[in-house]
Structure 1
Amino acid sequence: MNRTTTRTNNRHAPARSGHGGRRPAVQREFAVPKTLTPALPAVEAFADLDMPEPLLAALGSEGVTVPFPIQAATLPNALAGRDVLGRGRTGSGKTLAFGLALLARTAGQRAEPRQPLALILVPTRELAQQVTDALTPYARALKLRTATVVGGMPIGRQAGALRGGAEVVVATPGRLKDLIERGDCRLNQVAITVLDEADQMADMGFMPQVTALLDQVRPEGQRMLFSATLDRNVDLLVRRYLTDPVVHSVDPSAGAVTTMEHHVLHVHGADKNAATTEIAARDGRVIMFLDTKHAVDRLTEHLLNSGVRAAALHGGKSQPQRTRTLTQFKTGHVTVLVATNVAARGIHVDNLDLVVNVDPPTDPKDYLHRGGRTARAGESGSVVTLVTPNQRRDMTRLMAAAGIVPQTTQVRSGEEALSRITGAQAPSGIPVTITSPRQDRPVRGARGSRGRRGRPSQERRHGPGMAA
């Protein structure tokens, strides 16, 4: 069933006047839909919102009191049942912006077996787990059941969760489609649908699956679409499935971009490997991005042999391996995560202050999403891109397209400039064997823990899911 714009707005609460409906401009490649209903004004505190008391209490117990800009602007409208179109850089707080409204509006309802009431679609397994983890304490406070539906994990267990009844489902499109075809899930009772990282779903080729799923949910239901970029593919989704949406684009000055430094380091090809190794040996965690699985595995092996606690993350790893590696990186068992673009979205790690593009990305959106792993939720961080002479021209064009003016420095391994910018230092040269914290036998990509670093958890300070 295709959704048309003839849907009435009687599900929307009356909008208060006096705000003028003004909202920041959305980036220029996107045609902003015409809003018919004035937006409700932003709030200054979660306590100002009409949300269930258990939800407000859970926010307080999680240490979450002041909403981020995208939350302050969109939550009043989302709680009133309005469709929402939110654009915000990664780390701007999108998860709670849609999650709190979805949970509050589902509170008090009970799902029948196989018939969820609310659906959150995300592009990757890692993002699905992060969204689930972020919303679980709030769902629990409202006695709402959640189910996570992703590929790479046993489908039987996920089918069992749906058969047992789950009000909220967080899913990747492919696995949800499989479960529907098996008869383990029906979407005809879904009244609230969220598309998170919609541009990534379009880029990954999920558009046919996404539209097929959206055609199965209740046509009069609420839709919320959040994305870091709003390009032509997302425009198609907005025009087809959102009615009279509230449009909000986070002012970059209020987001992570102001706390992020961008460095382009010119290196000689023969010295690039040595410079990369010294950066990896720094104190503190770092994510290093490369283009291919083979390159990731090769660099990881080299770093381990050099005395650096590194682990690989790419699409060739099984989901249990990927989950274990991320856990070890977050807890400090591993200090260097070597990854392909699979890690560029949906991964949030507290106190990660450096991202390194060992292989420069070829797309401005890839650059922004790789860099978005640091400087999240108001923290500071740096993005460093290693550029050889034959890559300089392309990198200059990419930075211009991304709207970024980086600091450019010529560096060599062992020199002060490299250390000053990245914290680089000579590796120990003593090969390390990494073992799983739950096993005694060696496991590739893990190692015994040194324990957490002393800095307070960002999740504790800002609340889980603040940086989706």
Structure 2
Amino acid sequence: MTEPTFHELGVPAALADVLAAEGKTTAFPIQRDTLPDSLGGRDVLGRGRTGSGKTIAFSLPLVNRLAESGARTRPGHPRGLVLAPTRELATQIAKTIEPLAKAKGLSVTTIFGGVKQTRQVEALRGAVDIVVACPGRLEDLMQQREAVLDSVEVAVLDEADHMADLGFLPGVTRILSATPTGGQRLLFSATLDRGVDQLTRKFLSNPVTHAVDEDSVPQGEMVHRVLVVPSREEKTALVHELASGEGRRILFTRTKHIAKKMARKLTADGIPAVDLQGNLSQNARDRNLAAFAAEPGTPGAVRVLVATDVAARGVHVDDVELVVHVDPPVEHKAYLHRSGRTARAGASGVVITVAVEDEQREVSTLLRRAQIKAPFDHVTATSPVVDHLVGPRAAPVTPAPAPQPQQSGGGRGQQSRGQQSRGQQAARGEQATAQASRGQQQRGGQGQRRNEGAGTSSNNRNRRSRGGRGRGGAPAAH
């Protein structure tokens, strides 16, 4: 069956032309099924896994309705709202919406925690039309009266199931309750469990439901393999080999500390790598993602990203040929979302789970729940199957030398009192950081997921202390 073009689905020519300029002319199943209803103004409940093309499925009706309404956006009163669970996903969604919005004379901004709110407030005061936001920071700005949602004509909730997993549904409920009841609402999710169905009943009016079967999601061949090693030491050597190929690859770990350490070790060994984890500032996240997405051979480009589950949703980089579960995830959903970083939009890819021998039962259970069948190969780093999976090796890159410390003018072997004071301050800071790190490790599991989600301000932390739960990778844009 030949998929229809966007023109045939009723997408206005100006918007279809934007997609055509990006090489997107025919619709994916989730777009084919939902666009006739969403462009017609109906509330839509769309179910499909990450990578199915949901972002364009809701971006087109969002932009089209705002453009056709002819209303003017007032400062602090956006007319379009998209809620996303993580800052990475919010950024990716905004990138998809921006060229469509520009074609219709509309503006877009992102709102999330982990960065100063100054730019976000300025955008709102400048009468931005569409806001793509994480719940925590948006609620902060609503309490400050910088964001008022009484003019929202279209509200979109993306990755609703991930919102539920991270405990954001109370905040999402408060936000959607602040939008007008007569507006259009579009909810997209991979599953409809864990409270997502309650959101649907509360906020969607006579919705049309469209579910895309896994077999109909456009993707290339995704090969799953489990490589079993005899020891932790052999696992380290195997991961090094898997990272050494020429193409892009993402290595997933369970903890932030391991991700940071692994990226530094690979870089020191001649395999340029960057990390993506919850302790990084937003500027550092953006910088590392840009390095990973950069064309090979450009200055600063890397081919290896070491990430925690913060990157499992919301990070879409083309041509990721290999995903490695260095640490098998705890939940099967996390396995599927991690794996979805490869074999997207018709490309092919390989997903490898690395397991020490005593982890085989755990991995078998994980794959069964994910409904994935994969062979188990007992290997070492030098096994032929590993060589075949890695493919041609990239030439080693010598790391840049660390900058040399500046000599002071106070004589050899001496420090000025100011230098001593700075050294003492640095030492105290390192000690405080170490203590905080130990506390984070002791808190574990759920605390890590909160840290991995979209950052919130002190106001949100105060609200959590009064009984609320914590609040907060691109899905393919097409």
Considering the TM-score relative to the shorter chain, is it more than 0.5? yes
Flag the 1:156–1:185 CA change in 2: closer, same or farther, 3 A: same
Matches within 5 A, 1:56-135: 56-107=16-67, 108-135=70-97
Flag the 1:59–1:431 CA change in 2: closer, same or farther, 3 A: closer
Q: Take 1:232 and 1:195, find their aligned partners in 2: how far apart are those partners?
A: 15
Matches within 5 A, 1:13-92: 44-92=4-52
**Native 8 Å contact 2:220 2:345 kept in 1:** no
1:266 to 228, 240, 246: 228
Query: How much does 1:406 deviate?
Result: 1.2
Matches within 5 A, 1:149-188: 149-188=111-150
Q: Take 2:162 and 2:72, find their aligned partners in 1: how far apart are those partners?
A: 32
Matches within 5 A, 1:368-407: 368-407=336-375
What amino acid maps onto 2:387 in structure 1?
A: S
1:313 to 272, 276, 279: 276
Flag the 1:57–1:258 CA change in 2: closer, same or farther, 3 A: closer
Query: How much does 1:298 deviate?
Result: 1.8
Query: How much does 1:408 deviate?
Result: 2.0
What amino acid maps onto 1:180 in structure 2?
A: M
Flag the 1:65–1:466 CA change in 2: closer, same or farther, 3 A: farther
Structure 1 unmatched ranges of 5 or more:
1-41, 436-463
Q: Take 1:89 and 1:361, find their aligned partners in 2: how far apart are those partners?
A: 18
Q: Take 2:366 and 2:220, find their aligned partners in 1: how far apart are those partners?
A: 19
**Native 8 Å contact 1:277 1:427 kept in 2:** no
SS of 1:193's partner is strand
Length, aligned pairs only? 398
Residues 325-366 of structure 1: CA deviation (Å, up to 9, x unaligned): 000000041111011111111000011111100000110000
**Native 8 Å contact 2:316 2:476 kept in 1:** no
TM-score relative to the length of structure 1: 0.81
Flag the 1:378–1:254 CA change in 2: closer, same or farther, 3 A: farther
1:432 to 389, 399, 415: 399
Q: Who is 2:248 aligned against?
A: 285
Q: Take 1:254 and 1:296, find their aligned partners in 2: how far apart are those partners?
A: 34
**Native 8 Å contact 1:89 1:256 kept in 2:** no
1:138 to 94, 100, 103: 100
Q: Take 2:109 and 2:259, find their aligned partners in 1: how far apart are those partners?
A: 32
Flag the 1:434–1:112 CA change in 2: closer, same or farther, 3 A: farther
What amino acid maps onto 1:109 in structure 2?
A: A
1:219 matched to 2:181: yes
Runs of 4+ in structure 1 over 6 Å off: none
1:327 matched to 2:304: no
**Native 8 Å contact 1:259 1:381 kept in 2:** yes
Q: Who is 2:465 aligned against?
A: none
TM-score relative to the length of structure 2: 0.80
SS of 2:58's partner is helix
Q: Take 2:322 and 2:476, find their aligned partners in 1: how far apart are those partners?
A: 19
Residues 371-423 of structure 1: CA deviation (Å, up to 9, x unaligned): 11111112111111001111110111111111111122121112211111233
**Native 8 Å contact 1:252 1:258 kept in 2:** no
What amino acid maps onto 1:177 in structure 2?
A: E
**Native 8 Å contact 2:165 2:194 kept in 1:** no
Flag the 1:466–1:69 CA change in 2: closer, same or farther, 3 A: same
Q: Take 2:111 and 2:29, find their aligned partners in 1: how far apart are those partners?
A: 30
Q: Take 1:353 and 1:231, find their aligned partners in 2: how far apart are those partners?
A: 31
**Native 8 Å contact 1:91 1:375 kept in 2:** no
Q: Take 2:105 and 2:258, find their aligned partners in 1: how far apart are those partners?
A: 46
Query: How much does 1:122 deviate?
Result: 0.3
Name whichever structure is richer in helix by fraction: 2
Flag the 1:201–1:74 CA change in 2: closer, same or farther, 3 A: same
2:171 to 198, 203, 209: 209
SS of 1:75's partner is helix
Query: How much does 1:127 deviate?
Result: 0.8
Name which one, 1 or 2, has greater alpha-carbon Rg: 2
Q: Take 1:465 and 1:140, find their aligned partners in 2: how far apart are those partners?
A: 21
Query: How much does 1:254 deviate?
Result: 2.3
Q: Take 1:373 and 1:277, find their aligned partners in 2: how far apart are those partners?
A: 20
SS of 1:412's partner is coil
Query: How much does 1:171 deviate?
Result: 0.5
Instruction: Please give the root-mean-square deviation of Cα atoms over the aligned residues, in Å.
Output: 2.0
Residues 191-223 of structure 1: CA deviation (Å, up to 9, x unaligned): 211111111111111111110001000112111
Q: Take 2:100 and 2:394, find their aligned partners in 1: how far apart are those partners?
A: 45
Structure 2 unmatched ranges of 5 or more:
403-473
Residues 133-171 of structure 1: CA deviation (Å, up to 9, x unaligned): 111111000001112111122211111111111111100
Q: Take 1:197 and 1:280, find their aligned partners in 2: how far apart are those partners?
A: 30
2:262 to 299, 309, 312: 299
Flag the 1:465–1:407 CA change in 2: closer, same or farther, 3 A: closer
